Amino acid sequence: GAAVINLGIGSPDLPPHAEVIHTLQAESSKPTVHAYQGYKGVQALREAVATWYNKWYGVTLDPATEILPLLGSKEGIMHICMTYLNEGDEALIPNPGYPTYRSAVTLAGGTCIEYKLTEEDEWQPDFEALEKTDLSRVKLMWVNYPHMPTGQLPTDALFQKLVVFGRKHNILICHDNPYSFILNENPKSLLAAEGAKEVVLELNSSSKSHNMAGWRVGMLCGGKERIEEVLRFKSNMDSGMFLPVQLAAAKALALDEGWHSSLNEQYAKRREKVFELLDLIDCNYAKNQAGMFVWAKVPANQKDGYALSDEILQNAKVFITPGGIFGSEGNNYIRVSLCSTVGNIDAAINRIKTSLGK
């Protein structure tokens, strides 16, 4: 059949900075770097993470005790669930939200309790509704801002509410924060909220911010006791990260504002093209979304996002992600990835125009 233009995938298509690649090449050529590494990562990487958090988020972290490098932040989701959940325990997960939260909770033996996020509430938790819920068995709450798939940015007030909620109910707030540098001039960390280290673990990643998705470099940040608890589980799951990758990641985290500005300039151009595509199919969307996707509400004449996605795929050979795969609250939405060239998005627009007879 005809080749499909895929506007669904969320994997960065751009390369890391040249200096990062050079560091990997240079370090890999050394004969002494190929052994197993420590579970906590090398000091150079942990110090780079600490400096990065202080510079961009205004958060002070002790590199010796409050940072745990990960083989990608996705594994951290599993590590956290396996560390804190037993059969009968519950975890709050967002609807819509990243499907891996549900998978990891379930694999750990826990039970998922959905909390709804709606456009009317700006994709933020309804704390009044949560307070009326039986929270006695809830151990974790998964949150993610800038939110995937909606692109909703966080506010300081929201982050403070999450900390207060976690403290009140003895719930560990797990913040997944990989999108804070993409099309966002004000990166935020939940750990910057007052009292956060008592009740928050935050995952972060170089995948999106530094185009290193395939390198698998993430980090877990939080209070010393929490890091030690997760480390006890993690140390039974891997044998550390390849040293040259750690040193290259440290180089990446030291990049200045110019790197992020250049990257976002490209994403901004792609986003304008995606807006053009969405206007063509009569979808509604907010223009202030962050992250590498655009979230849009389907027109009233469509049954749901699945129907619109299927129609475009069949008639134009363009794939757009139906929002329902992220939860029932996403049923009337679609998500378009920015991980595709302007030329590719233009080609998709032309195919859709042809299919619509425009």
Q: Does domain 5-15+257-356 have CATH number 3.90.1150.10?
A: yes
- Residue 258 φ/ψ region, left for φ over 0, alpha for ψ in the -120 to 50 degree band, beta for the rest: alpha
Predicted local distance difference test score (pLDDT) of residue 2: 78
18-253 topology per CATH: Aspartate Aminotransferase; domain 2 (3.40.640)
Is-same-fold flag (5-15+257-356; 18-253)?
A: no
Token pair of 98 as six digits: 């990243």
* Upper half-sphere CA count for residue 296 (Cβ side, 13 Å): 29
Predicted local distance difference test score (pLDDT) of residue 144: 97
Q: List Cα–Cα distances, 237 to 72, 76, 192, 233, 272, in angstroms.
A: 13, 11, 30, 7, 43
Q: List Cα–Cα distances, 145 to 13, 97, 114, 140, 241, in angstroms.
A: 22, 11, 17, 16, 27
286 alpha-carbon distance from chain centroid: 19
For residues 146 and 179, is the Cβ–Cβ distance under 8 A? yes
Interatomic CA distance for residues 97 and 28, integer angstroms: 38
Predicted local distance difference test score (pLDDT) of residue 285: 97
Interatomic CA distance for residues 182 and 261, integer angstroms: 9
Q: List Cα–Cα distances, 240 to 36, 100, 164, 217, 269, in angstroms.
A: 6, 23, 35, 11, 38
Instruction: List per-residue pLDDT tens for the chain, 358 residues long.
Output: 679 999 998 899 999 999 999 999 999 999 999 999 999 999 999 999 999 999 999 999 999 999 999 999 999 999 999 999 999 999 999 999 999 999 999 999 999 999 999 999 999 999 999 999 999 999 999 999 999 999 999 999 999 999 999 999 999 999 999 999 999 999 999 999 999 999 999 999 999 999 999 999 999 999 999 999 999 999 999 889 999 999 999 999 999 999 999 999 999 999 999 999 999 999 999 999 999 999 999 999 999 999 999 999 999 999 999 999 999 999 999 999 999 999 999 999 999 999 998 8
Predicted local distance difference test score (pLDDT) of residue 9: 87
Predicted local distance difference test score (pLDDT) of residue 248: 97
Amino acid 27 reads E
Predicted local distance difference test score (pLDDT) of residue 357: 87
Beta bridge partners of 293: 337
What are the sequence ranges of the domains in the chain? 5-15+257-356, 18-253
R_g over Cα of the chain: 21
Predicted local distance difference test score (pLDDT) of residue 239: 87
Predicted local distance difference test score (pLDDT) of residue 358: 80
Pairing relationship of beta strands 67-70 and 321-322 according to DSSP bridges: unpaired
Token pair of 252 as six digits: 């990446």
